[in-house]
Amino acid sequence: MKLRILGCSGGIGGALHTTSFLLDNDVLIDAGTGVGSLSFSEMLEIDHVFLTHSHLDHISSIPFLVDSVGYLRKLPLTIHAIPETIDALKKHIFNDVIWPDFSLIPSAGNPYMRYQQIEIGETRELDGRKITTIPANHTVPAVGYHLDSGQGSIAFSGDTTTNDAFWDAVNRISNLKHLIVETAFSNSELEIAKLSKHLCPSMLLEELKKFRKNIPVHITHLKPGEMSVIMQEIEQGTAGERPRMLTNGQVFEF
Ligand SMILES: [Zn+2]
Ligand SMILES: [Zn+2]
C-alpha cells in the first residue's frame, strides 16, 4: 500500500492544505483542501473516501470532487463514515441549500455518491487492503484509522485529544510501521487545545508515554504560523528518536 500526503495542515495558505491522504490511487482518508492538488484524472480514480469526522477541514473537498467527476463515474463515490458524520453531511452540506444532494443525482438508483456507515473498530477490506476505524476523542464524534497492507500498518489519530483507547488500539497493532498523530496547537494555547479537544506539545508528550512501540512518529494538523514553535516544543521534551513533522507530498510505502 502507498499513502501520499495531500494535506496535513491545520489551515490553508500557500502550500498548506488541510487533511487529506491518498491511499494507492483510489482511496482518500479525509477530504480536506489537499484534494484540490490532484489532477482531474487522479480525482476520477477515487472510488472511496473514509472520513474521520464532520469538521470542514476534513470534508471540504467532497462537494467539489463529486461535482467535478460524478458525471464521468460508472459507480457512485462511496463515503465511509460513522453515522454521526454521515448525518452531518446530509443535514449541513448535501442538503440542497449549501450543495445538491448528490446521493439522489442523477437518480436514486445510480447516484454520483453514496454513504456507507462504518462503526468504531470495524474493518473494511478493499482488494486485500484493510482499513479499520480506531477510537478518537474530539468535540464531535470522530475516529482515527488503521491502514494494514498485511506487510505493514500505518495508524492515524485523526483529530483527537487525550485518549487511552487510541493508544490501546495502536499498541495492539503488531506490524505497525508509522504513527501519524495530531498536534494542532502550541503550548501557549493549552486551554484552547483542551476546549477544542486537540493536542498541544505538552499533552502529546504525556500521551506518547502510553505508546509502547519504537517506530517513527509524524506530527500533523499544525496550526499555520506556529509550525516551528510546535515542533520545537515537541523536540525539547523528547529524548531519543524525535517525532517529525508530516509534510505535503510525503509518501509512505508499507
Ligand atoms: Zn476536528
Ligand atoms: Zn481538523
pLDDT at 239: 81
Domain boundaries of the chain, sorted by first residue: 2-253
100-138 pLDDT, tens per residue?
Answer: 999 999 999 999 999 999 999 999 999 999 999 999 999
pLDDT at 238: 87
Q: pLDDT band for position 240 (50/70/90)?
A: confident
Q: Tell me the pTM.
A: 0.98
Distance 109 CA to ligand 2 centre (A): 33
Ligand nearest to the CA of 139: 1
46-89 pLDDT, tens per residue?
Answer: 999 999 999 999 999 999 999 999 999 999 999 999 999 999 99
**CATH number, domain 2-253:** 3.60.15.10
In this structure, which amino acid lies at residue 50? F
Helix pair 227-236, 201-208: axis angle to 10 deg: 40
Ligand nearest to the CA of 136: 1
Ligand nearest to the CA of 220: 2
Distance 159 CA to ligand 2 centre (A): 6
3-61 pLDDT, tens per residue?
Answer: 999 999 999 999 999 999 999 999 999 999 999 999 999 999 999 999 999 999 999 99
Residues 6+ apart with CB under 8 A from 174: none
Distance 74 CA to ligand 2 centre (A): 31
Ligand nearest to the CA of 34: 2
Residue 125 belongs to what H/E stretch? strand 123-126
Residue 9 and residue 184: Cα distance in Å, rounded?
Answer: 9
pLDDT at 225 over 90: yes
221 neighbors 198 (Cβ within 8 angstroms): yes
Q: Is the C-alpha dihedral spanning 117, 25, 18, 100 positive or negative?
A: negative
pLDDT at 150: 97
C-alpha cell at 33: 483542501
Q: What percent of the chain has pLDDT over 70?
A: 100
pLDDT at 149: 98
Ligand nearest to the CA of 221: 2
Q: How far is CA 67 from the centre of its chain?
A: 21
Edge-to-edge strands, sheet with 48-50: 113-117, 77-81, 48-50, 27-29, 20-23, 2-7, 251-253
In this structure, which amino acid lies at residue 226? E
For the chain, the average pLDDT equals: 97
Beta-carbon count within 10 A of 130 CB: 15
Ligand nearest to the CA of 182: 2
Ligand nearest to the CA of 31: 2
pLDDT at 157: 98
Distance 41 CA to ligand 2 centre (A): 27
Distance 110 CA to ligand 1 centre (A): 31
